[in-house]
Amino acid sequence: MDMRKQLILAGLVLLFAACGHVQSPLPEEDSSDFVTITDVVPDALLEIRYYSTYNFVGTRIDGYLQPTALLTRRAADSLRAVSDDLKAQGYIIKIFDAYRPQMAVDHFVRWAADIPDTVTKQYFYPDVDKSRLFELEYIMEKSGHTRGSTVDLTLFDMRAEKDVDMGATFDWFGDESHPDCGGNPETGEYRPNDTLTAEQFANRMILRNAMLRHGFKPLDSEWWHFTLCDEPYPDTYFTFPVQQL
């Protein structure tokens, strides 16, 4: 075979190889290590606030295509252990949010920068000037949720058939949301005050202690927020939307 034919053949081989090659998704676009939480924790209740309009922005948030919740497999397996623990105590977990795509965080940032838009102020931040939301770190350009191993949740009392009273609503911008409001979360000791009752503080401790027992760590500004200690993607901020996997 002469040199000209060899070059043509080599070119055809390269062309066919390129046409048959399927490009792998970028790391932040890859959902293959994620699961739908209710597939792993079938007892979990879902109240996905960012799919609805009942949230601090007041509209459905970008990236929430279905009212479901996703986590990395490792985080979901640990959450199953939490669920089993709490169920033995008479509670079911209710999830407000889990994996949150970067486009949703970007939506929060745009909303926070729009200072005149205060439609939801009386429900979520009545005592905070909206212009201070970045300064106080209620809104940030990056979120641990976007790494896929963080979950926002509360307790549902199976006997009473209602949410457990935690003393402050999910996504409340204020000191009342801090785990140390009303006591010492490290010791579980209640501190009498005008904000939380002893029962409300104790309820928070039930959730917190169960999460800690099964490998999650808390956030010092939100009683509902927990991140898996050994999260598998500590440096990856994912971009795929929230929808059934």
152 phi and psi, to 5 degrees?
A: -105, 125
Is-contact 36 68, C-beta < 8 A?
yes
Strand partners of residue 157? 91, 162
The tokens of 154 are what?
A: 């509360």
Could you say which of 135, 137, 222, 231 is catalytic? Answer: 222
Instruction: Tell me how far apart the alpha carbons of residues 130 and 124 are, in angstroms, rounded to a whole number.
Output: 11
The tokens of 10 are what?
A: 């080599």
Q: Is 135 a catalytic residue?
A: no
What single DSSP character describes residue 21?
P
Opening angle at CA 163, ends 157 and 84, nearest 5: 45
Instruction: Tell me how far apart the alpha carbons of residues 79 and 151 are, in angstroms, rounded to a whole number.
Output: 9
Neighbouring residues of 135: CB distance < 8 A, sequence distance ≥ 6: none
Residues involved in catalysis: 222
